[in-house]
Amino acid sequence: MKILASSPIRTRLTVWYVALLAAILAIYISVVFIFQYGLLEHQMFHDEVQDVETVEGLLFFDAQGQLHLQQDYYSHPRSHLLVDRLMEVRDLSGVVLYRTDTLNGLSLGGPSRPNEGGNGFDERAIKLVDGTHVLVISHLHPVGGRQVLIRLGYSLVPLRDRMFQFFLLLLVAMPIGLVIAGFAGYSIAKRAFLPLDLMAARAEQITASNLQERVVVENEHDELGHMARVLNHLLQRLEQAFAQLQRFTADAAHELRTPLASLRAAGEIALQETEDEEGYREAISSMLEETVRLDQTIDGLLMLSRAEAAQLEAMDEFLLPDLVNEILVLLEVVTDEKQMIVEQEQDEHARQVIFADRSLVRVALLNVLHNAVKFSGVGSTLRIRYSQVHASAVEMERVCIHDSGPGISAGEHQRVFERFFSGKSKKVSPNSGAGLGLSIARLAVERNGGKIFFDEGVASGARCCVDLPIMRSAKRSGV
């Protein structure tokens, strides 16, 4: 069994197939043998009955009272079976009246049994003294006015010899058939698993450098086709993961180069040129500013990487205005410092239940609101409006956040969502951030089936809109 367990699947399938076929053939041979033997034995009984009926018309008593069998019957072509018969005739007292020479003086069944042959044709298998097995038919019949018991039998030896030969023939044919079936089964299994071998060979050729390659799906409706599709989906996820890792590495290398170079330059200048305490303080202050920027960049990259890699958690049901108000409480220190006014407006269809990952939506709205507050001036107004829209036959609730900042230059409304993008015409403070907030926001919104965009039609400031799917009525009933 250990050898079989370590064998290829096609070999195991072939072995199990041959073993099952052998069991079926063994049962079939047994049933056929028993049925055939019973059928021939029944035919023998039928022939013996006809033979007894024939013999009854050929028996006669001579003048001396001796029982004889009419011998000229053997001249008929159909009477050859009578030549090999075993026959014995007794009277009711048990005296043997006639016995064929084929018995060689042996008794055919011994003394008469009670009521033997009185109810038709009695059938029984006996064994002669010489060991011969015989099928005997007994029948009472009047001959010349006297009631006699006729016993007629056929030897079972020829029948059993033929059945034994038949059984040997089946036994010889069985392994030959199993060998042929084994080769055929192995060939069929090999052909059936050929697509699997091709998939394995193709998969072995796919490495980290060519993850865009896919396994060929020959028949998408069978099990191997399903396996190929699953494998292709796995390769697609691996490709996305590798692309994400490469993007993260490239972004990190690109964005960390500048602050690290600044840190090194500030340190070298301080060591070479600075001699007083004030110079060292300026160098350390510059280095601290670069570390803050470096920390923001690293945090943004990690957050973006987690958002890309994370699977959606359990979907939540919540109200969008409640989440926005929760974020405004966090930003209240900044808005109060800038003496900003926050205005919120809702249409009659607003305050619908949102069905999304609340934590991701919170990250997205926090980045959008933080940017809006950061780029708005002192004493400005932050306008937040809620409405219901339809996008791609899906009901969405939209929240638009309109700040009073410098706005977005023409042609940059889509590019602001790119990583590390910084508008050329926008007046941005030196510590404005790493340029990852809107990238994180877009990823978080799109992961929840929503949409985020900047309205290009506003005259002043920037107006960012976020669309999120509303919970369907079927789900709403379970709230």
Chain centre distance of CA 454? 45
Identify whether the C-beta of residue 123 lies closer than 8 Å to the C-beta of residue 109.
Answer: no
- What is residue 4's predicted lDDT score, i.e. its pLDDT? 64
Residue scoring higher pLDDT (430 or 233): 233
| Residue 428, pLDDT score | 47
Q: Where are the domains of the chain?
A: 2-162, 223-306, 314-476
Angle at Cα 159 formed by Cα 156 and Cα 160, nearest 5°? 80
Q: What is the pLDDT of residue 200?
A: 84
Which of residues 283 and 459 earns the better pLDDT score? 459
Q: Tens digits of per-residue pLDDT, 208-229?
A: 778 888 888 877 788 888 888 8
pLDDT of residue 441: 87
Please give the pLDDT value at position 39: 92
> What's 271-322 look like in SS3?
HHHCCCHHHHHHHHHHHHHHHHHHHHHHHHHHHHHHHHHCCCCCCEEEEHHH
**Cβ within 8 Å of residue 472, ≥6 positions away:** 355
Q: Please write the tens of the pLDDT for every residue from 87-134.
A: 999 998 889 999 988 888 899 988 888 888 888 899 999 999 999 999
Over the stretch 245-275, which tens digit does the pLDDT of each residue have?
777 777 667 667 767 777 777 777 777 775 6
CA atoms of 21 and 181, how far apart (whole Å):
8
- DSSP H/E element including 339: none
The structure tokens listed for 434 are: 């790493």
- For the cut 80, the answer to whether the pLDDT of residue 416 exceeds it is yes
pLDDT at 413: 86
Residue with the bigger pLDDT between 124 and 4: it is: 124
- For residues 224 and 267, give the distance between their C-alpha atoms in angstroms, rounded to a whole number: 62
Confidence class for position 139, pLDDT limits 50, 70, 90: very high
pTM of the model: 0.49
- Please give the pLDDT value at position 142: 92
Contact in structure between 447 and 306 (CB atoms under 8 Å)? no
Burial 27-48 (b: 16+ CB within 10 A, else e): eebeeeeeeebeebbeebeeeb
Q: Class of 314-476 per CATH?
A: alpha beta
pLDDT of residue 474: 37
What average pLDDT does this structure show over 158-181? 91
Calpha distance 259→265 (Å, rounded): 10
Q: Which residues pair with 155 in a beta bridge?
A: 134
Q: What is the mean pLDDT of the chain?
A: 82
Domain 2-162, CATH: 3.30.450
Tell me the pLDDT band of 467, cut-offs 50, 70 and 90.
very high
Residue 35 has pLDDT above 90, yes or no: yes
Q: Does 80 have pLDDT greater than 80?
A: no
Say yes or no to pLDDT of 477 above 70.
Answer: no
Q: How much of the chain exceeds pLDDT 70, in percent?
A: 84
Model pLDDT for residues 300-356, shown as the tens digit of each residue = 667 666 666 666 566 788 999 999 999 999 899 889 989 999 999 988 766 788 888
CATH code: domain 223-306 is 1.10.287.130
